[in-house]
Structure 1
Amino acid sequence: MMIDDLIDGVIDREGGYIHHPADRGGATRFGITEAVARANGYTGDMRHFARPAAVAIYRQLYWSRPGLDRVADRAPALAAELFDTGVNMGPAVATGFFQRALNALNRGGRDYPDVVPDGRIGARTLAALDAFLATRGAGAETVLVKAVEALQGERYLSLAEQRPANEAFLYGWLAQRIG
C-alpha cells in the first residue's frame, strides 16, 4: 500500500528521538512532535513514543483526514508530495498549496473554475484536479507536483529569513525536496 511506504520513508528520514534547541516544535520522535503526540493521547516521555503510534498518527492526520487517499486514486505522485509537505508544514498548508496551484494553472478559469484555497480537499478540489489532468494530459501531474514544491521551497526560505535560528534546518528542508 502506498501510504505504508510513505510513512516508512518519513520515519526513516526523521529518525528517533530529537530535541534540537532551535526547533520550536520541541521534542520529537519519528517526526511526531510532543504536542501532536499529546493531542493524540500520548502521556509518556517522548523518548519512549512507540513507532506504531507514530504510524497511526501519520495515517490518520496526514493522509486520511486531509483526503489524500482520494488524490492518490487520481495522481499518486501528487498525493505523495502533499503527504510529505503536510508532514513538514501541516496538511492544511499542503492542501492550500495544491489549491493555489490548481487555480494558477486553470488558464483564467477556462479549463475549470477556481477553488477556494481553504486547505480542505473536497468535491470541488477533486473536480478541478480531474479537469486539470484531463485537459493537460501527459505530464500534468508532474507540473502540479513542481508547483507545490516551488511553493514549499519559497516558504522554507521565508521561514529562514524571518527567524535566523531556522537556518539550522534550511539545508535539510531543501535537500529532502531534491529527487
Structure 2
Amino acid sequence: MQVDSLIEEVIAREGGFVDHKADRGGATRWGITEAVARAEGYAGPMRSLPRQAAHAIYRRRYWAAPGFDKVAERAPMLAAELFDTGVNMGPAVGIGFMQRALNALNRGASDYPDLVLDSVIGPATLAALDAFVKLRGKAGEQVLVHAINALQGERYLALAERRPANEAFLYGWLANRIG
C-alpha cells in the first residue's frame, strides 16, 4: 500500500485554504485544522501552511500514530478506509467503528474474542483482525469497509440532525467520504 498516494488524494479532495463559518474546526488548509497545525508545531498563518507540512502531518498523525500502517500489512483496503475516516472524524472514531464491526462479525465470539471498545489498535485488535481476515479473506475485508461506511454515514446524519449548521456539509460528506 502506498500511503503517499492516500495522503495526496486527501489533500487534493480537501483543497487549499477554507474558513467556512459553519465549520467548528475553523480555518483549514489542505484539510489540516489550525488546532492540529499548531499542535504539530506550525506557527505561521494557515493560508500559508505548506503542502509538504500537511503531508507530513497526515503521515504522522493520521497514519503512523493510530497504527493504520499495521492494519495495511493485513488489510490494505481497510487501512485506506480507516485513514480517510480518521482524517474526517478522528482516528479513534474509525478504530472504534472497526472494533464494533469486528465484534459484531465474530459469530458470538466463536471466531475470536470480543474486543474492548477502546479505539486503540493494540495486540488484541490486530489478533482479531488477523483471525477475521484468515477466515473471511478479501471478501471479508470488503465487508469490514462496508460496515465502517455504514457507521460513518449514520454518524454524519446524526451530526446534521443534532446541529443544523452541519447540514451545509452533509451532502459532501456522504458524496465524498462514503464508499
Q: Same fold (TM over 0.5)?
A: yes
Tell me what 2:60 maps to.
60
C-alpha distance in 1 between matches for 2:177 and 2:91: 17
C-alpha distance in 1 between matches for 2:174 and 2:138: 27
Q: Which runs of 5 or more residues in structure 1 are unaligned? A: none
Divergent runs of 4+, >4 A: none
Tell me what 1:145 maps to.
145
Q: Tell me how large the CA RMSD over aligned residues is.
A: 0.9
C-alpha distance in 2 between matches for 1:23 and 1:134: 41
Tell me what 1:122 maps to.
122
CA drift of 1:134 comes to 1.2
C-alpha distance in 1 between matches for 2:50 and 2:76: 28
CA drift of 1:138 comes to 4.2
CA drift of 1:2 comes to 1.3
What percentage of aligned pairs have identical amino acids? 72
Q: Secondary structure at the match of 1:73?
A: helix
- Matches of residues 19-168 of structure 1 in structure 2 within 5 Å? 19-168=19-168
Q: Secondary structure at the match of 2:128?
A: helix
Q: Is the 8 A contact 2:7 2:59 kept in 1?
A: yes
CA drift of 1:137 comes to 3.0
C-alpha distance in 2 between matches for 1:120 and 1:49: 29
Equivalent residue pairs, number: 179
C-alpha distance in 2 between matches for 1:126 and 1:109: 15
Q: Secondary structure at the match of 2:100?
A: helix
Amino acid at match of 1:117: L
C-alpha distance in 2 between matches for 1:57 and 1:137: 32
Answering whether residue 171 of structure 2 is matched by residue 174 of structure 1, we say no
Q: Give the TM-score, by structure 1 length.
A: 0.98
